[in-house]
Amino acid sequence: MSHIAVHQNKAVDYKALSALCPFGAIVVDNGHIAVTSACRMCKLCIKNDTRGVFELVEDDVAGTDTSEWNGIAVFIEIYEMKIHPVSLEMIGKAQELAGKIGHSVYAAAAGEKIHTAHVEELLHYGVDELYLYEAPELKHFRIEPYTAVFEDFIVRRRPSVVLVGGTSIGRVLAPRTAARFRTGLTADCTILDIQENTDLDQIRPAFGGNIMAHIRTTKHRPQFATVRYKIFNMPERITNPTGTVIHCTLPPAKLNSTIEILKVHHKEKVKHLEEADVIVAAGRGIGSRENLKYIEYLAELLDGEVAGTRTLIEAGWIDPRRQIGLSGRTVRPRLIIACGISGSVQFTAGMNGSEKIIAVNIDPNAAIFSIAHIGIVGDVTKVIPELIENIKADAAADVKADAAAEGTAERSTS
């Protein structure tokens, strides 16, 4: 930990000193210069201060003996008899990290009754030790009993790293559990790596995607990180798994909850954007809401889904559930066509793992072209209609060819 120290004896022009902080964290308090909690630790005050008024001071913080923590752990999210795919992606990343430092992969799952098929599936994905917690109180996710389970698992296994899917459940469970161990947590990581000393390199977009923050928790364990669905690859199944299953129990008192589940209402099932093989995404470059018809028609022809950038979502042109980016969805389709999208970090962080990226933009210097496999420089309102006509022509030619082939087959038979 560190903080900004103020040398009051060097402070002269209070107004100029206050202006050094773009976040308004430098204020005059009782005739003295003070740094408030609004400080973002950007260090601009130190960089731009010519009198040495501000100084970065590293606090002497007692750390954890990191050698006592070993292994990479994953929380397995099971809901309504289904393993969330992000949990399997976390296992794959855990295997990669564990392989670099010679550690094992551990996993914890909780529920009223965990199906045998789920247990076997998890072992087939390379878990070395699977800890199962089964109790009637764990039928539905409630934060108190699930935190007690997660805490118990970490105390038993003492993993160096804990990975959790960035789902609605994971976003609640991970920080609450991390707080119990007084350790750090980095949310929505896009890159994870590990050092030989088991320090986890956690990289995520920050300040609205304008920078990539590189975070390490060097003095505390375990190291918590959450990752959204579709960021990492699904691991390959192992033919002959060797992992072991460990059944765990907790005293009933630890599974108590102040939350009572009265009734469960199931939302209408919709096709999630993350599951689409083909996506046609629109940005502000499409010009007007009326031009969305080209995007929608192209998506229909390709049996794909329509998506958009934050700008179009805020304008009310596209459903918020169809936003791609840091504040939206992360997708990895087989094909994505980015129409009139500049390619900001905010957007690309949510789709740069796509198998094939085609970008259409009138600006030849648009950032989207740096990650696109195919780039088309041109007006979206002209390129997309032409592309639609070409697809329709090809489809008609295929139908004609199939009909001709059928006629030839019938004549041969007769």
Digit-coded pLDDT (tens) for 289-316: 999 999 999 999 999 999 999 999 999 9
Q: Is the dihedral of CA 127, 133, 138, 144 positive or negative?
A: negative
106 within a domain of the structure (yes/no)? yes
349 within a domain of the structure (yes/no)? yes
Q: Kindly indicate the confidence band of residue 58, based on its pLDDT and cuts at 50, 70 and 90.
A: confident
Which of 255, 282, 297 terminates a domain? The answer is 255
387 within a domain of the structure (yes/no)? yes
**pLDDT computed for residue 412 by the predictor:** 59
Check if the beta carbon of residue 139 is closer than 8 Å to that of residue 111. yes
CATH number of the CATH domain containing 288: 3.40.50.1220
CA-CA-CA-CA dihedral for 386, 379, 296, 350, to nearest 10:
130
Does residue 33 share a domain with residue 105?
no
159 within a domain of the structure (yes/no)? yes
Does residue 72 share a domain with residue 45?
no
CATH number of the CATH domain containing 168: 3.40.50.620
**pLDDT computed for residue 236 by the predictor:** 92
Does residue 237 share a domain with residue 92?
yes
Which of 255, 287, 318 terminates a domain? The answer is 255
Does residue 152 share a domain with residue 48?
no
Between 53 and 401, the higher pLDDT residue: 53
pTM of the full structure: 0.78
Token pair 């579709």: residue: 230
Q: Is the dihedral of CA 135, 140, 143, 149 positive or negative?
A: positive
CATH number of the CATH domain containing 25: 3.30.70
405 within a domain of the structure (yes/no)? no
State yes or no: pLDDT of 140 exceeds 90. Answer: yes
Mean of the per-residue pLDDT values for the chain?
92
Does residue 250 share a domain with residue 104?
yes
**pLDDT computed for residue 409 by the predictor:** 59
Annotate 90-117 with b (16+ C-beta within 10 A) or e (fewer).
Answer: bbbbbbbbbeebebbbbbbbbbeebeee
State yes or no: pLDDT of 275 exceeds 60. Answer: yes
- Measured in degrees and rounded to the nearest 5, phi and psi for residue 264 equal -110, 125
Does residue 98 share a domain with residue 227?
yes
The average pLDDT across 100-106 equals 97
CA-CA-CA-CA dihedral for 233, 239, 244, 247, to nearest 10:
70
Q: For the chain, how many structural domains are there in total? A: 3
**pLDDT computed for residue 317 by the predictor:** 96
Does residue 350 share a domain with residue 319?
yes
For residues 304 and 131, what is the distance between their CA atoms, to the nearest angstrom? 39
The average pLDDT across 29-39 equals 91
- Measured in degrees and rounded to the nearest 5, phi and psi for residue 47 equal -65, -40
Sequence-separated (6 or more) residues with CB below 8 Å from residue 78 = 84, 87, 109, 110, 111, 114, 118
262 within a domain of the structure (yes/no)? no
410 within a domain of the structure (yes/no)? no
Does residue 160 share a domain with residue 84?
yes
DSSP letter for each residue of 84-107: -HHHHHHHHHHHHHHHHHT--EEE
Share of the chain above pLDDT 70, in %: 94
The average pLDDT across 166-194 equals 95
Does residue 340 share a domain with residue 216?
no
CA-CA-CA-CA dihedral for 358, 361, 367, 373, to nearest 10:
20
Closest residue by Cα to residue 11 from 50, 37, 43, 58? 50
403 within a domain of the structure (yes/no)? no
Check if the beta carbon of residue 239 is closer than 8 Å to that of residue 126. no
Does residue 202 share a domain with residue 95?
yes
H or E element at residue 8? none
**pLDDT computed for residue 1 by the predictor:** 61
Does residue 226 share a domain with residue 95?
yes
HSE-up (13 A, CA, CB side) for residue 165? 24
Range of the domain at 372: 273-393
Total residue length of the chain: 414
Does residue 166 share a domain with residue 95?
yes
Which of 210, 228, 255 terminates a domain? The answer is 255
